[in-house]
Amino acid sequence: MQVGSLVGLSACYVALLFGVAWLGDRAAAGPRRLLDRPAVSGTIYCLTLAVYNTGWSFYGSVGNAARQGWGYLPIYLAPILVLWFGRPVLRRLHAAADAQGATSIADFIAGQLGASQFVAAVVTIGSILAVLPYIALQLRAVSLSFTALSGGAVDTSTKPIAPPDDTVFWIAVAMALFTVMFGVRHSHRSRRHRGLMVAVAFDSIVKLLSFVVVASAIVLHTLRHEPSLFATDASRALLRPHLFRPLWLSNTLVAMLSFLCLPQTFHVSTVERSNPRDAVWGAWLFPVYVILLCALMLPVAAIGVSYYGGAAEGDRFMITIPMAIGRTDLAVLAFIGGLSAATGMVIVATMALATMLCNDVIMPVLLHTPISARWLRRADMSLLIVNIRRFAVIVILALAYASTRITSTYRLSETGLVSFVGVAQFGPALLGGLFWRRATGPGAIAGMLAGLAVWAGMLLTPVTYRPNSLLDPISLCTLVSLLSNVAMFIIVSLAGTSWPRVVDPAGTGQTPSEDELSELAVRFVGAEAASAAFEERKRQSWARLDALDFTRNLLAGAIGIASARVVLAASQRSTLSDQAAWAILDEASEALRLNHRLLWTVLSTIPQGICIFDQELRVSAWNGRFLELLDMPAGVVRVGMPLRQLLDYNHDRARYAKSDPRRLLAPHQLEERQWPYIYERERPDGSVLEISFDRLPEGGLVSTYIDISERHRSVLSLRSTNEQLERRVRERTLALEQARSAAEAANQSKTRFLAAAGHDLLQPLSAAKLFIATLEEQVYVSRPFQGGPPDAADRIAAAVVGAAAALRSSETMIHGLMDISAFDTGVVRTAVGDFELGSVLQPLEQEFRALLGSSLVGLDICHETVTVRSDPFLLRRIVQNYLTNALRHSGARRIGLRCRRRGGRVDIQVWDDGNGLDRTARARVFEEFHRGHGASERGMGIGLTIVHRIGQLLDHPVGVLSIPGRGTCFFVRVPLGRPVPPQAAESRRNEVARFDLNGGEPLRVLCIDDDEQVLAGMSGLLRALGIDVLHEPEAAPPDAMIVDYHLGADINGIGLIERLRVLWGSETPALLLTADRSDAIRFEANSQAIALAHKPVKPDQVKAFLAAARSPRDIVPAPGGEP
């Protein structure tokens, strides 16, 4: 195995530990439900107890078993015995430690024995002396396994390697780093090291698993391949149960006392214990752990002894046996397990020792020395404490590293036992302090010193180990040291009362009042923490603790129990005899207090109300503004008051809507809520608060209250202003609307009046026109043109013609006016549809040709066969007005009509070669009563205005292009329509028809007959020919119609055909069916261009008619309603 890879592996493992500790801290800082669950908490507690099982267990116990057989067991039985049978002791111990706020065993023993600083110091220094070899043992165990695994020198007592190359050194450095990072972070005891404890628990799991796996693999391998190993004499000797030996008793005793007194086990079992129930868990789980761990130790030892022929290498069997059977992986696993066992112990022990060293040795010394005390005034107390502890950690590990050199001649288990015996010296003092009321500090000191002296004298010199002697040195030493310890303890305790308990709560002397005590606490831990603690004390009515004890605990958390007692003692004396200590404390706390005062001042003066809640959502601090803003009577808000209670209180006073606290406090929402949680609340007095809750990094909530009434008011006023504005706009709009509709109504009524007036005006005008026309005709009829000079009759004729023209002109004007008023009042409805443009333009052309008649103006019409979408009637008006305008006003000699397709539209253009229009005229030509220059007197130009109106109505752009002197072109732009089914627009009576029903679309034929049977027969015939039969006329004309003559008493087929043709504007081919063969009907039908078929009708006749109707229909323009 390479050294490098082993180092890497170790580094990885330590890094993993770092990670676990970090995660543990995270879990502890976050919602602590997981770690606070009884099962989790208890399991972790039990696993941390396993810190008792160190590298010694991992390697040394196997070696021990190899040498002594069953003799290795007492070490492991001891804690089980303590946990099972020492329950009352443990309970008492835990209760006392909790009550006292002990941070270490030194603290605790001193606290029990009158808070003597000397006791604490002795315990501390003794512990360091006793435990240092033990820490060194761990480092050595790692080093041992390391060298074994890396195939280095087997002899561990070779000369030391230079530190930088020494694995032990680097392991010590890593452990120091780890302890400093996770073990020494807060000065106050209440900050438990959750992350560290999780890491230690993890360590314990690793070491148990690796040991069980490696050991069982070894045993299985042996059983399978070399079962003879169990049968050797050596292993038989080991496996055979021994008789009772005194060593066992002494070892068990030592181990029991050590389990109680070892700094690391005391720390995990008492200081870090967060829950009383954890002890119960520990009592049941820990034995299981121990049994699992040590069950296979003896078999492995037996195998090793048989294999190697002796117990010399017993401490390394866990590594060497796997390597010997070729299982390097198991060896590596064992290495990891050993490493984990070592680290756990080292870290916790170092941390505990460092705390003790700091609290019970260094701090008292500093506090008692005037020079350092002066220096302390300017120092940050809690930071200083932490730094001292860090320093202590480093010192202790350095010492331990150094002592690896000294103790390297011991075997692992021996070293462990030596430490145990040393630590056991505190047992009498511990138990005595707990149970013996007459125990005194000096007694304890005497006992401990005596015991430690014996221990040092007998064991700290190299000894040879004699396993089979009745009393080996260790047992002997145990016996002697403990006996002398107890003896001295008892004697001195009974003999003297030289050091009475410094502070006896029940004792004489004036007890400081609670106010004084709290003032004292304020000096030291700050106003807030002190008042919070005292409030909490009141609330919880902590059972046995009176104010004095309480204050002492409070202070002890910060400066250790002994120092705390000094402070309290000083305060108790009427004359402050220990002026120096008092001053020091005062000065030391001054800086802290200043900070607090500053903070408090800031909190009190800021305009926000602030209230802080701890992790359990209980009030922990607030400022005056908070009470003011929430209008809280004094005394309602207390430290430790649950948030829910506060909210309930406010709710009862109707300060909250019921849902708010519910929403805020719903537990799942505390986690998932978007932070900060901000809401606004209107208070009964009308002011508005903005309340914001946010989480604190260490758990708990901070709530701030801001009076935003002003902002709220301005928002409200802005809103009301806005509403007012809107209302005003609405009112104004309404007024305008009314004014507009009034104006419109006035305009409409004016227009209607105009229309009515025009209408009435037309009656006499029309009459006058008819009279004049009559007269005109009479003049011409009676007096044809004769030539010669005009006589009186000629003059009359001229006057009549003039009068007729004047009348027509005024009539045209009135019609135009009425049309415009009709467009303005919106009574003109449009009927837009698709139609063939020719059907509008062709009749117009005919009309105009007739109109031009004799005139000299030429007319060019150019058609295009195209379907447009428009209102045929109104479109005709447009084109007609264009043509009329060109004819009347342009002075043209030629007028043209053209259709031009442009994309989806058709431009219908009417052009002339007349005078043309200049720019201004073009712009105004569509305005009312505008007339071009040089126009004749007829008309008032109202035609173009109507064109404009119709163009707007139909959404057809109209316009004019013109070059002055060259001519003008008016146009209207009409959208194309969907082609309509070609209409059978003409009848061609004399045409020879082709009968072809299969070409093109089916014919649509309207079939009308009163007789249902005849109708059904005819319809059947037609449908058989593939024809669409209609029984009722539709808006669009059909291709043909077949009508019975006798439709009823008062209407005949000819009348109906005639009427429909007029309505459709189409000469739809019609076949009249009749039984009447009279000439009258034949003549009438003939005159109306109606085909005739006498009943009974032959299908051939119908076919012939339909063929004619179907024949080409693009030739003849409709003759226009009249034959």
Residues within window 766-805 making contact with other proteins, judged by CB under 8 A: 766-771, 773-774, 777-778
The correct pick among 472, 549, 707, 819 for binding other proteins (CB under 8 A) is 819
- Binding other proteins (rule: CB under 8 A), the pick from 519, 586, 590, 811 is 811
Backbone torsions φ then ψ of 688, nearest 5 degrees: -120, 135
Specify the DSSP class assigned to residue 270.
I
Measured from the CB atom, is 85 or 1083 closer to other proteins?
A: 1083
Q: Which is nearer to other proteins, 738 or 766 (CB)?
A: 766
Residues 507-526 vs other proteins: string with x where CB under 8 A? --------------------
CB of 849 to other proteins, least distance (A): 13
Question: d(Cα 742, Cα 748) in Å, to the nearest integer?
Answer: 10
Shortest spacing between CB 947 and other proteins, in angstroms? 15
Min dist. Cβ of residue 778 to other proteins (A)? 7
Q: Where are the alpha helices (DSSP H) in 633-701?
A: 643-652, 659-665, 667-672
Minimum distance from residue 866 beta carbon to other proteins (Å)? 14
- From candidates 789, 1035, 1096, 1114, binder to other proteins by CB under 8 A: 1035
CA distance linking residue 574 with residue 402, whole number of Å: 49
Both tokens of 176, joined, read 């120091």
CB neighbours (10 Å) of residue 458? 18
Q: Which of 1036, 1093, 1104, 1107 binds other proteins (CB under 8 A)?
A: 1036
In whole angstroms, how close is the CB of 880 to other proteins at the nearest point? 7
Rounded to an integer, what distance in angstroms lies between the CA atom of residue 395 and that of residue 445?
Answer: 25
Among 67, 194, 876, 956, binds other proteins (CB under 8 A): 876
Per DSSP, the residues of 891-918 read: --SEEEEEEEEETTEEEEEEEE-SS---
Query: Of 829, 902, 919, 978, which one interacts with other proteins (CB under 8 A)?
Result: 829
Minimum CB–partner distance for residue 764 and other proteins (Å): 6
**Touching other proteins, residues 308-347 (CB under 8 A):** none
Rounded Cα distance, 2 and 768, in Å? 135
List 651, 877, 898, 938, residue binding other proteins (CB under 8 A): 877
In whole angstroms, how close is the CB of 888 to other proteins at the nearest point?
Answer: 16
Q: Taking CB under 8 A as the rule, which mask of x and - marks residues 1056-1095 in contact with other proteins?
A: x-xxx-xxxxx-----------------x--xx-------
880 near other proteins, judged by CB under 8 A = yes
Q: Which is nearer to other proteins, 254 or 886 (CB)?
A: 886
CA distance 1112 to 1092: 21
Ramachandran class of 462: left when φ > 0, alpha when ψ lies in -120 to 50, beta otherwise: beta
Contact in structure between 413 and 73 (CB atoms under 8 Å) = no
The vertex-695 CA angle with 690 and 696, nearest 5°, equals 120
Identity (one letter) of the amino acid at 564?
A: A
What is the closest distance, in whole angstroms, from the C-beta atom of residue 1005 to other proteins in the complex? 15
DSSP states along 730-775: HHHHHHHHHHHHHHHHHHHHHHHHHHHHHHHHHHHHHHHHHHHHHH
Which residues 847-866 are close enough to bind other proteins by CB under 8 A?
A: 847
Among 872, 896, 914, 967, indicate the residue that binds other proteins (CB under 8 A): 872
Beta bridge partners of 894: 858
E-strand stretches of 737-880: 833-836, 858-861, 867-870
Least separation, in Å, of the C-beta of 846 and other proteins? 9
Closer residue to other proteins (CB): 409 or 1086: 1086
Please write down the long-range contacts of 989-997, taking CB distance under 8 Å and 24 or more positions apart: 989/1089, 989/1091, 991/1108, 991/1111, 993/1104, 993/1107, 993/1108, 993/1110, 993/1111, 994/1107, 994/1111, 995/1103, 995/1104, 995/1106, 995/1107, 995/1110, 996/1107, 996/1110, 997/1025, 997/1026, 997/1027, 997/1106, 997/1107, 997/1110
Out of 763, 786, 920, 1078, the residue judged to bind other proteins by CB under 8 A: 763
Name which position in 598, 718, 799, 831 contacts other proteins (CB under 8 A): 831
State the Cα–Cα distance between residues 586 and 583, nearest whole angstrom: 5
Give 669 or 855: the residue with its C-beta nearer to other proteins.
855
Given 41, 54, 440, 983, the residue binding other proteins (CB under 8 A)? 983
Shortest Å distance, C-beta 789 to other proteins: 28
| Among 634, 686, 1049, 1078, contact with other proteins (rule: CB under 8 A) | 1049
Minimum gap (Å) between residue 987 Cβ and other proteins: 14
**Burial class of residue 498 (count of CB atoms within 10 Å of its CB; 0-12, 13-18, 19+):** exposed
- Kind and range of the H or E run holding 994: none
Whether the CA torsion 1071, 1072, 1073, 1075 is positive or negative: it is negative
Give the nearer residue to other proteins in terms of CB position, either 43 or 748.
748
- The dihedrals phi and psi of 975, each to the nearest 5 degrees, come to -70, 150
* Contacts to other proteins from residues 988-1027, by CB under 8 A: 1008
Closest approach of Cβ 1040 to other proteins, in Å?
Answer: 15
Phi-psi region at 74: left, alpha or beta (left = phi > 0; alpha = psi -120 to 50): alpha
Q: How far is the CB of 899 from other proteins (least distance, A)?
A: 16
CB closer to other proteins, 500 vs 802: 802
CB 694 within 8 A of CB 702: yes
Q: What are phi and psi of 994, to 5 degrees?
A: -95, 135
In the complex, the smallest distance separating the C-beta of residue 1094 from other proteins, rounded to whole angstroms, is 21
The nearer residue to other proteins, 468 or 1078, going by C-beta atoms, is 1078
- Minimum CB separation of residue 1003 from other proteins in Å reads 18
Please tell me whether the peptide bond between 676 and the residue prior to it is cis, using omega within 30 degrees of 0: yes
Selected binder of other proteins within 184, 1037, 1039, 1109 (CB under 8 A) = 1037
Name which of 162 and 1035 has its Cβ closer to other proteins.
1035
Q: Which is nearer to other proteins, 290 or 985 (CB)?
A: 985
Nearer to other proteins, 143 or 1066 (CB): 1066
Backbone angles phi, psi at 674, to 5 degrees: -75, 120
Residue whose C-alpha is closest to residue 293's, from 379, 221, 222, 204: 204
Judged by CB under 8 A, the number of residues near other proteins is: 73
Nearest to 183 by CA among 127, 259, 263, 110: 263
Return the structure tokens found at 790. 């005009």
DSSP-derived letter for residue 164 is G
Q: Could you tell me the smallest distance in angstroms from the CB atom of residue 1023 to other proteins?
A: 20
Measure the CA–CA gap between 953 and 831, rounded to whole angstroms: 11
Alpha-carbon distance 237 to 259, whole Å?
A: 30
The 3-class SS string of 509-553 reads CCCCCHHHHHHHHHHHHCHHHHHHHHHHHHHHCCCCCCHHHHHHH
Nearer to other proteins, 596 or 949 (CB): 949
Q: Judged by CB, which is closer to other proteins: 532, or 874?
A: 874
**In the complex, minimum distance from the CB of residue 906 to other proteins, in angstroms, rounded to a whole number:** 16
**Contact region for other proteins (CB under 8 A) — 308-316, 539-547, 683-691, 873-881?**
873-881
> Of 67-75, 92-100, 376-384, 1050-1058, which part binds other proteins (CB under 8 A)?
1050-1058
The residue within the footprint of other proteins, chosen from 1047, 1093, 1104, 1107 (CB under 8 A), is: 1047
Query: By CB under 8 A, what part of segment 721-760 binds other proteins?
Result: 752, 755-756, 758-760
Nearer to other proteins, 96 or 768 (CB): 768
Judged by CB, which is closer to other proteins: 692, or 842? 842
Taking the complex as a whole, the smallest distance from the CB of residue 1123 to other proteins amounts, in Å, to 8
